[in-house]
Amino acid sequence: MGLAMGLPAAAAPKMNPRAGQLARKLQMAPMDPASDPSHLKALEGRVISILEDLDASARGNGPPPKDLLKQAYALRTDIGREYAEMAVDALAAAAEQARSLELFGGDGRYHGTIMKGPNKGEPAVFQYIAPVKYLPEFSRSLCNIEIVEPRKQRRSDEVADMDIRVISYGKRLRSLSTRMKRAPKAVDRKPAPRAIDRKPPPRERDYSMLRTKAEHDARWEELRKLDPQSGERPPSIVARFERKSTPSKASGGKYIYTVVIQNRSDFPTEITFEYAFIGGSSRDGYRALRRQSKTFKLLPTSTHRFEDAFSAGKVGYRGYAAVVHFNGKAITSFASDARMRNFTKPGALGALD
């Protein structure tokens, strides 16, 4: 055996080194019949080590957090698919939150102090996604941990005080626990896949780990029915633009960007995301190199990514601007710099040539 997690030695040379290193940290902890306050502290330490690996990969041109987690869990032949999927989602969300709150220092180490947002200067909080008061067997589990700002920390574990997201996640954990107790071998074991050589999932599976758009939309509709008033509550949306490629032969002479949209609210929402990549100058005038308006149905505390590309030609690329609309009203905006922020004013994006 080439690795502790059970990967055959013959497959080891093809293994992604980062995935192999991370896989060693993903072992399942004991599912205790009773929880203890020490469990959360120990779990926090495990998660911080994992987050540092994920951040190092993202900064070092390696796989993004969710992709690396999928590869690492694929190497764990001792962990069932359903648990792995839930752990991937939870850890990827934690990595996204850590990055949004700027919880990493310049050396890549997790310092835990919020450097961006309303709680700037305060420590971020680790908490269980679903209270272990009702699910003690998941008090050590990587699939039941999240990072929140102090103002969003759960103050009560009483069911009457929980939101739909927590209740729904708790039901998923309860269902998983029941199946693991009834048929542990069927749930806890899976055949060893060839993680690195697999073809990437089809484009329609961008929403979460192997969830199709149809499944995503069905889940969104289910949560909306459980909380119909969510359609009236403005969400908290964060977006960023990550440059993936500059014009080159490989990119077809185009700039390529990954756009990341995060719903930081604990309810489902539907937004319209209007954005433009802008070229030109203040002297010669600005124009839209590419302008788009897309509507997204976002799950609670979820992240959606998509790519876009554009050519700058002789005009030259200057920056980007984006506006988020909810129920026909602009609720927030983003721009690459102060000058580009002028284009987030009402009607400014639509006025670009």
| Domain definitions of the chain by residue range | 9-198, 235-351
Quote the CA–CA distance of 76 and 23 in Å, as a whole number. Answer: 7
Grouped pLDDT means (10 residues each) for the chain, 353 residues: 43 65 90 85 93 90 89 90 93 94 90 91 94 91 95 86 87 88 51 44 40 80 90 93 90 92 90 95 88 94 90 90 95 92 92 82
User: What's the length of the chain?
Assistant: 353
By CB atoms closer than 10 A (0-12, 13-18, 19+), residue 206 is middle
Tell me if 76 sits within 8 A of 5, measured CB to CB.
yes
Helices and strands in the chain: count of H runs, count of E runs: 9, 9
Confidence at residue 68, expressed as pLDDT on a 0 to 100 scale: 93
> What's the pTM value of the predicted model, to 2 decimals?
0.52
Q: The tokens 């009834």 sit on which residue?
A: 182
CB atoms within 10 A of CB 272: 15
Non-local CB neighbours of 283 within 8 Å, separated by 6+ positions: none
The domain made up of 235-351 has a fold known as Immunoglobulin-like (2.60.40)
Confidence at residue 186, expressed as pLDDT on a 0 to 100 scale: 40
Quote the CA–CA distance of 47 and 91 in Å, as a whole number. Answer: 8
Quote the CA–CA distance of 121 and 136 in Å, as a whole number. Answer: 32
